[in-house]
Structure formats: structure tokens, C-alpha cells
Structure 1
Amino acid sequence: MEIDLSESFKAYDVRGIVGASITAEAVEAIGAAFVDVLGLSGQDVLVGGDMRPSSPEFAAAFARGAAYRGANPKMLGLISTDELYFAAGSLDCAGVVFTASHNPAAYNGIKMAKAGAVPVSSDTGLFDIRDLAQTYLDEGLPVSTEAPEGTVSEVDVLADYADYLRSLVDLSGIRPLKVVVDAGNGMGGLTTPAVLGDAILPGLPLEIIDLYFELDGTFPNHPANPLEPENLRDLQAAVVKHGADIGLAFDGDADRCFVIDEKGDPVSPSAITALVAVREIARAKAAGEETPVIIHNLITSRAVPEAVTAAGGRPVVTRVGHSFIKAVMAEEGAAFGGEHSAHYYFRDFYNADTGMLAAMHVLAALGQQDTPLSDFAAEYEPYVSSGEINSEVEDKAGAVARVLEEFANGHDLNPDHSGVVCPPCHPALENCETVVSTMDGTTVTATDGSFWFNLRPSNTEPFLRFNGEAVDRKTMELVRDGVLDIVRNNA
């Protein structure tokens, strides 16, 4: 069977269908290329995997390839993605975790990190690994002349990971909280008892009600993708049924965390970003930092930079994507970073993303006061968001051009309401003007702050992604519906 690795190597990781675009033979070649491209012969290389049925086989195949080229694989066993980042940072070793994150059971993939948890992306060697692995796959692995074949050993990092996270956020003194956690049969079923429960460390004032903690990569209950609203329904119902204070949902590899309030309503990742940012600013200031930097991508709510500025920090906007966020985190020495997709990055976690640490910050903030989460989180959600909406469009550039042309011509976004055009989109915004940014896709912002929206093309699918926000629901809906009508006209 011929494998074309360009089908599974994406901009930030490797992801494909097991037995079709990713096989054990291909993974062995990738392991060898990983060692050669990153110059790891004679060094330790960390190898772990999630609960997917193919992960153990793939981890073993990667280790064979890495050892053949002279590296010493350290097998981590079952791990979450943020456990890999912890291990790569604390042990100062390069490593990989086999996971396809929130993708369906038929998929698996690889997330890679250099020593210190520095990401490996298309800009930092991922495609070089792909090309060399393709050569090895097609022509066979060469004999290593630089070092003898490496040795394979095992190491367990779960206890150290849990202990380290506990050292960053002290939950021991908070008021008792009832917490429902939906692990979606993913790795949160392993990490939650270790960090928030008493499986390894002393118990906390948390009553954990578990949903789907059994590790099962076939996902028998629902897909481990909390970004899709239907996958939160069981958690929402359980929070209300048990009278819980909060609900937490992790994705398959447990590097993202979504939050549900006591009413069963989702708390937006932007609100969580703002909440955690304020806490991290206070923490950095207490340590003597004058103006801590907080990173956020351009899709997060305008409430994020406003909260950061009000707390005495400096907000820095970046493109969407973990490699961009991590790079800017390192360049700016930022204390924290957040994305609309519920990825949260911490300087104290090697600039890497961890949903568990973000969840701990939310629990600490909630448990240190008596206000219910719905009221507490509302302080960080003053605007109305559309959420991300995909439109299947072949000519994405043409669709964006039509939107910009219509805006320039005063397009009527609400034909049934005489005189409502965009700009201004709303009768109260008669003199509305907009500015356009092309940092990541195309962002149109009303200069009076009444709304903004972004159109960003997918790199891998025929989708144009819309995200928007406005000062009230009526304005948001007018902008959303009007722009989508333009985008999908002649799509």
C-alpha cells in the first residue's frame, strides 16, 4: 500500500484516517525522520498516546523508528496532549503524542514538540520531517552511522503533572463546589481524577460528578468535541439535574476545556480568557512585573483586550492558531494567552496550552466568592457573539470581495426595514464607518465600536468561516445574516 504523507501532514500536526493515510509503517518512518531532522540521535525522545485503539501500536512503531536512528524513546503510556507539553518542558526533551484530538474514532495523528515544549509546525520543521519520512517510507530506513541503536524505557509523568498544576493554582481554601465533568471518554477521564480528585494527591473541596470517564477511543456516548453544541447537552442536563455550581467539558486529548454555568448555559471561551487573564495579570504584578502581556487571537471578544487593559496589562492580538500564539508568547514574554476555540496558554506551563490549568483558574475564581458563575461570567461577556459559522464556498476570495464591495456601496442588510443599510446596519448607527484589517482573513470593524466581523478561509476545506460580535443582539443578527447572505449568493 502506497502512502502519501502530504495527505496527513497539516500545518500544525499530523492527522489522518487509520489504515488509509496513516499506518504503523508510515509512523515508523516518521519516528526516524523526527530524530534526524531535529538532530536527536543519542538523546531521549518522549512518546505517548491517547485512548484511541491505534495509539499503542503507533507509539510502538514511532519508538522503533526513533531508536533505529539512535534516539532513546521514553514511553509515557496513556497521556493527554498537555501532559506531553509538561513532560517536554520539565524534562527538556522532544516528544510526540498520538492523538487526533476531537476528530472521530477512525482518525489518529501526531502532535509534536521540541525540548522545552516548543511547537513543531510547518514553519519549524514539520514539513521537513514529512519529506524525509516519505523518502524513508519509499526507500527504506538507512543504517545509523552517528550512534548505536537507542534503548526504549518507560516513564510515568501523571503524578508530577498533577503536582505541578496544583502548585500553580491553590484550590485548597475555596468554598465547596459541586462540579460535573464530561470527559467524553477521552483523556480527561484520566487527568481529572489525578488533578482535581484524590486519585494521586489529597482531595480538594470539590465534589466531582463524572460523565464518561471510561477511556474509549470509539466514543460510544458522543464525539469528544465540545465545540459542537450538541456534544454539551449531556453535561448541561447533568449540571441542572445535580444542582451543580459548574460544568467542565474536555475534548478527546484534554488540552481544551469548555465551561457550563449553574443554569446549564455555556460560558464563552472569550469570557474565560478574560477571567483568567485578569488573574494572571494580578499574579504577575504581585511578582513585580509592571505591565504583564496577554495574548489573544483576533476572533476573541473585544471584551478580552478591554479587561486586560482595565487590569493593568497589555493586550497583544495575533492570528488564529497555536503555533502563532506560542511564538508571540515567547517573543513577548506573555503571562497568558487565549483563543476563541478554548485553547489557553500559560507562561508557567512552558507557553503551552492546557485546558486543565484554565479550569483550575475558573474554579479558584468561582470558589473565592459567593456569586454564581452565570453572574460572575456575565462581567466578561458584555457583547453578543455570533459564534463561528461555516459557509461552503469554492471561490472564497470572491466571496470576501463581494462583501467588501457591498459594504463600500452601502448594502442593505435588512431589505424589510427601510433605510437600514450597512454601513450603518442599524437605525441608531446612521454615521457608521468601518475599517478593514487583513491580519488573518478579513476583519471589518465599525469605528464606533458597534460591531465587528471576520471572514477567514479554511486552509483544508472549502469553507469560509464567519465570526462576528456586536453591542446588542439585533445588530449582531443584522450583520451576521446580511454578510452570510452576501457570502452565499453565487457561492
Structure 2
Amino acid sequence: MFPIPRPKLIANTYAFESEPMVKPTGFREYDARWLFGTELNLMGVQALGMGLGTLLGQLGIRREIVTGHDFRSYSASIKMALVTGLMAAGCRVHDIGLAVTPMAYFAQFALDVPACAMVTASHNENGWTGVKMGANRPLTFGPDEMGRLKEIVLNADFDLAGGGSYVFVADLAERYMRDLTDRPKITRPLKVVAACGNGTAGAFAPQVLEAIGCEVVPLDTELDHSFPRYNPNPEDLKMLHAIRDAVLEHGADVGLGFDGDGDRCGVIDDTGDEIFADKVGVMLARDLSGLHRQATFVVDVKSTGLYMTDPVLKANGATTDYWKTGHSYIKRRVNELGAVAGFEKSGHYFFNAPIGRGYDDGLVSAIAIIDMLDRNPTRRMSELKGAIAKTWSSPTMSPHCADEVKYDVARRVVARFEAMRAAGEPVAGQPITDLVTVNGVRVTTADGTWGLVRASSNKPELVVVVESPVSEARMHEIFRAVDAVLRENPEVGAYNQSL
């Protein structure tokens, strides 16, 4: 019998090498993330694989699964521990090797395999690992599946059916890139900075962009799992500023930044200005709503309010649904509503046919941005950005808050703003006109200025975003007001970045 996982073991001991360690908080809302070695060991990964194979059986899903790994020094060993667990639970495992996460999603279609388990910590710093999982393409797990998986693993309630098998798929990367590039080349000459932060996307992004006709300026595309210059996260200002400098140095038309596992894309315009992903979404929605009338779009609650007020979207009959933040949530909502696309402020974009297959792929997003520029041959990226209304918005800011308490703190913040609204108490000097509590709380004041607080789904943090359609000063005012409510909770720590 496989041992019941322990929440904590000491490294470099007999127990650490003889028992599984799985910290319960590593099971997130829609994927799994742990600090490798302090919250999870290899036997714990094996237990996760056995649990996932067991869950597939309970869901009535054929026990056949795609797996791959990102470019970190420990990811391959974690993947192979996962594979042993999956095989013990009777799964036929298709290993696609080193990959960006969208390659695993693509492989589900290309190989006709129902499930996937991609070993990646995405944009998290080195030391983190995790698994993105799904069993109903193109969807990934949500809270129900993750909750059941957690129960199975932590209780060692495994169905070890045996009979598993393993096959290595040697040509999946070539098939993936061919699928992206089997299309007409762009007609407009475009110079593009492709920034990968030395993460996994560096093995694929420059080739794909060149194949569709772009002149590519590679930036930090050499694979280096130490991430020597900056963490590959297109929401982090350090990465965005590095792309800005390259765009200005090379006179590029646009800069595109990809995260560590290649499912997100950030954008810098031709003048060197970063365009937060929710604003890029507005630009893409404008473009696509002209091609697909009466289109539906899905966006997350961190996103700009411009989707509701933009005159082009209104004229084209487009509707926008604000939904929970998180790639799994938005992906499911896009699928449920048959939306043309879904956009997250983090840079996860989801395109249904004919553009994509419904899952998030940073390269599909990059191609959509290039195609938008190609359809507007006389306008630069900065001009397309300038055509949408000006708002002042923050990057995503994340104050530290332990996994064990962050959801409780978020509930307290929601309750505090609800009480303020009921009492007629102003926020940042103005009355509250709207509270959206589908995912944390988004509080909007009379002039349209708003602030959001929610619990991070994948790190021990809260998430804070603010925006004002009025002025930069109002953006700062709402931030101070939101932060004051946060500081009523002593569990809230320092921000990773701030205004």
C-alpha cells in the first residue's frame, strides 16, 4: 500500500526519501502549484499521478493522457515521477517532452487523447513547480475536479488498476508549429521583438513568427532555467521594460512577451509603451467584432471597463461578459457561451474557431495581434491603442498573504466593502455605485473609477488592480482607499510591485 502523504518532511532525511510529501494548499482552484523540495517531493509527485489516474477512472474518462514539461532544472524529473504514478493507475501516457503548455492542449486534439497533465510552474519564480490538468478538451480542471483530486491524493485513496504504458511522441513540436503556420503569410512588413525571458517559449516563438512572415528580433530566447535577466512574466514591469528598450533600439512595430510556459502574451507598442493585456483585448475585440457581428466576448473581473463603453463594440453589436479570473474559469465560460474570444488581464487569451480551439496559447494570441495589424495596413500599434478611450490603470499588484488565510482575508474585504455600501460610506471620496463579488470584490465609484481585490489562485498572495477613466490622480486615490481596507487585516504583507 502506498503511504498516505505527509504535509511536511525534512529534506535530506530517511523519511524525505521514503514517504510522499504533499502540502495540501498546493491544490489550487484550477491547477496545482508547490515549492519543490519544501512543499512537495518526488514521491509526492508520484502520489499526484496515481491520484490523477484514479480521478480519470472515477470521471468515466479513458485512462489515456498527454504529459510534457517546461524548461526548469527539475521539471523533467518531476514529470517522470508523475508518469510512474499515472502508469501505476493504469494510464497510457503520451510524453511530448519539453513543451510549452499549449502544446499539451494541442496534443490532446492531434493525438486524440482525452486528458492532459502539463508539468509547469508557469510564470512563478524558480523553485516552484506545478501541474495544469484537464480531462475534457479544451477545458482544464476547475474547483470540483481539483477538490476531488486533493481528497484522493491526501487520503491515498488510489485505484491502482495497473496495465499502464508509456510512449514518447518525438515529433509533436514540429506538428504544433506546422499547425500554427500552415496559413497565408502576412502582407504587411512587420518587425517584431519576440521576448521569452529565457523560458520555454524561446524554443518556438521566433520560428513561428518568422514562418508567418515577420522580421523577428529575438530577445532572451536562449533557454536558461536560471532566468538570468528577469522572470518570464509579461505582467512584470521588469520584463515589459526590457521589451520596450528592444523595441526602441530596433525600431520595431511591436514587442511581444511570452511567459514561462508560453500560454500568455504581453504587448509593447511601437513607441515603447506597454499595453496592458485587457486593453489589447479591447483592440482585438474591436477588430474581431467587425468580422463576427453580434459577437460575444468574455473578460475577467480584473479587466478594464472599456468593454462595456467602447463605441465600436456597441456599433458592432458586441456583448461582453465579466467573469471569474483564472484560465480555467474563462476557458469554460468562453466554451459555455460560444464566445468568439475571452481575454484576461494576465495575458491569457482564448479563441474559439476559426482562430483557435478554445484554449489559451500565447502564440495563437501573438498571431491574432499580428493579423490585426495586417488588417490595418496604414495604422501602427500605437494608433490602434490611441483609438480606444484613455484610462489610467495599474499593473496587477500582489501583496503577500499566506495560502492558509488568503481566502478568509478576501472574504473579510468583500464584507467590509458591502458594509460600506450599505452604510452609504464613500470610497476615495465618492459613493459606491456597483459591487461585483463573483470573484473577490470589484468596487466602482460614481465617476467609473474602480478597484479590485481577490485571492490569487496560484500563489500565497492577494491580487489588486485599479483603474480610472478620469485621471491618474483618481487611480492613485482608489488604490490608497483599497489598500487602506487591506491594511485592516494584519495578514496582508508587502506588494510585489506597486504604483
When the two structures are superposed, what TM-score results if normalisation uses the length of structure 1?
0.84
Indicate which of 263, 276, 279 corresponds to 1:271.
Answer: 279
Cα deviations by residue, 1:340-389 (Å, 9 ceiling, x for unpaired): 11110111333211121111111122234122211211223532213334
User: Which of 352, 369, 372 is the matching residue for 1:365?
Assistant: 372
1:324 corresponds to: 329
For 2:470, the aligned partner's letter is V
Of residues 344, 354, 358 in structure 1, which corresponds to 2:361?
A: 354
- Which of 52, 60, 64 is the equivalent residue of 2:72? 52
Distance 1:79 1:412 in 2: 46
Q: Match for residue 445 of structure 1? A: 444
Shift of 1:30: 1.8
In 1: Cα distance, 2:31 partner to 2:488 partner? 34
Query: Rg: which structure is higher?
Result: 1
Q: Which amino acid aligns with 1:12?
A: Y
Residue identity opposite 2:36 in structure 1:
V
Q: Which residue of 2 aligns with 1:429?
A: none
2:131 maps to which of 99, 102, 110: 110
Q: Secondary structure at the match of 1:210?
A: strand
Which residue is 1:163 aligned to?
178
Aligned length: 456
CA distance in 2, matches of 1:399, 1:41: 40
Q: In the alignment, what sits opposite 1:121?
A: 142
Matched, 1:190 2:175: no
Aligned ranges for residues 337-416 of structure 1 at < 5 Å?
337-348=342-353, 349-368=356-375, 369-391=377-399, 395-403=409-417, 408-409=423-424, 411=426, 413=428
Shift of 1:225: 1.6
Could you say if the C-alpha distance between residues 163 and 411 of structure 1 is closer, same or farther in structure 2, counting changes exceeding 3 Å? Answer: same
- Secondary structure at 1:108 match in 2: strand
Deviations 1:152-195 (A, max 9, x none): 3324322222233335xx56133111111111111211121342
Asked if the contact 1:445/1:453 (under 8 Å) is kept, the reply is: yes
Q: What is the deviation of 1:457?
A: 3.9
- Cα distance in 2 for partners of 1:486, 1:21 equals 31
Distance 1:27 1:279, change over 3 A: same
Structure 1 counterpart of 2:12: none
Q: Where does residue 336 of structure 1 map in the other structure?
A: 341
Match of 1:89 in 2: 109
Identity %: 27
In the TM superposition, residue 69 of structure 1 has moved relative to its aligned partner by 2.4
- Verify the 8 A CA contact 1:89 1:115 in the aligned structure 2: no
Question: What does 1:58-77 correspond to in 2, within 5 Å?
Answer: 58-77=78-97
- Across the aligned residues of Structure 1 and Structure 2, the Cα RMSD in angstroms comes to 2.7
Task: Pick one of 33, 46, 49 that aligns with 2:51.
Answer: 33
CA offset digits 1:113-169 (Å, max 9, x no partner): 21423211322x223223323344xx9x7752xx633243324322222233335xx
List runs of 5+ in structure 2 lacking aligned partners: 1-15, 491-499
Aligned 1:231-246 pairs, distance under 5 A: 231-246=239-254
In 2, distance between residues paired with 1:44 and 1:155? 18
1:211 pairs with one of 208, 219, 232: 219
In structure 2, distance between residues paired with 1:216 and 1:162:
21
TM-aligned CA deviation for residue 48 of structure 1: 0.5
d(CA) in 1 for partners of 2:415 and 2:84? 50
Instruction: Indicate how the Cα distance of structure 1 residues 26 and 245 shifts in structure 2: closer, same or farther if over 3 A, else same.
Output: same
* Alignment match of 2:297 (pick from 294, 297, 303): 294
CA separation in 1, counterparts of 2:399 and 2:95?
42
Alpha-carbon offset, residue 79 of structure 1: 0.8
CA–CA separation in structure 1 for the residues paired with 2:29 and 2:489: 30
Secondary structure class of the residue paired with 2:178: helix
1:99 alignment partner, one of 92, 114, 120: 120
Verify the 8 A CA contact 1:403 1:487 in the aligned structure 2. Answer: no
CA distance in 1, matches of 2:419, 2:65: 53
Change (3 A) 1:399 1:63: closer
Matched residues in 2 for 1:301 and 1:412: separation? 19
Shift of the alpha carbon at 1:84? Answer: 1.2
Aligned mates of 2:303, 2:81 — CA distance in 1 = 39
Decide whether aligned partners of structure 1 residues 296 and 42 sit closer, same or farther in structure 2, where only a CA change above 3 A counts.
closer
Residue segments in structure 1 that go unaligned for 5+ positions in a row: 198-202, 286-290, 414-420, 424-432
